Amino acid sequence: MLKAKILFVGPCESGKTVLANFLTESSDITEYNPTQGVRILEFENPHITSNTKGTGCEFELWDCGGDPKFESCWPALMKDSHGVVIVFNADIPSHLKEIEMWYSCFVQQQFLQDTQCLLIAHHKPGSGSDKGNPSLPTPLNKLKLVHSNLEDDPEDIRLEFIKYLKSIINSVSESRDREEMSIIT
């Protein structure tokens, strides 16, 4: 069975935990409580299998606290990660600046491909925000950007997340196949 580790990172109060719980079908959260360090959610998704072997896939979703005081823990969190989801609150202008730092630390410094990264512009209930694309600086404007609004269209973000997980599993599977071939030859 293939296993993939996905990090959920981004600024404080961007909605990472609410999204993580929704996408993994975990418990609902009714009040804001900042994540201290990291929460690890393990789940399987029946819609995702490895293309080559047809085996199931397990995921670890690491919901990382957005407070900079946890920065000393980040190298340990990043170890062996297969993908990074950067969540930001589209209604808070400072988040657009902050996500550049998250991208630099968690994607570029880990030498992950842009295809292993997903940007989620999260709209909190009642924000009434439009889904216009925020002006993202280079290199963020090359990343896949999806909007999430769990009040208006929750299934849209679930479908986008499943597509993302499938691409991560394909990457993990191809990497494992290359590794196996290098042992054989």
The reported pLDDT for the residue numbered 174 is 84
Structure tokens at 67: 């407070």
CB atoms within 10 A of CB 38: 17
d(Cα 6, Cα 16) in Å, to the nearest integer? 12
The torsion angles phi and psi of 52, rounded to 5 degrees, stand at: -75, -40
Strand, coil or helix: what is 135? coil
Q: What is the CATH number of the domain that holds 127?
A: 3.40.50.300
The reported pLDDT for the residue numbered 85 is 98
- pLDDT of residue 30 exceeding 90: no
Q: Domain tally for the chain?
A: 1
Residue with tokens 């190298």: 75
Element at 60 (helix H, strand E): strand 56-64
Task: Please give the residue range of the domain that contains residue 58.
Answer: 1-182
What confidence tier does 168 reach under pLDDT thresholds 50, 70, 90?
very high
- pLDDT of residue 35 exceeding 70: yes
Q: Is this structure's pTM higher than 0.95?
A: no
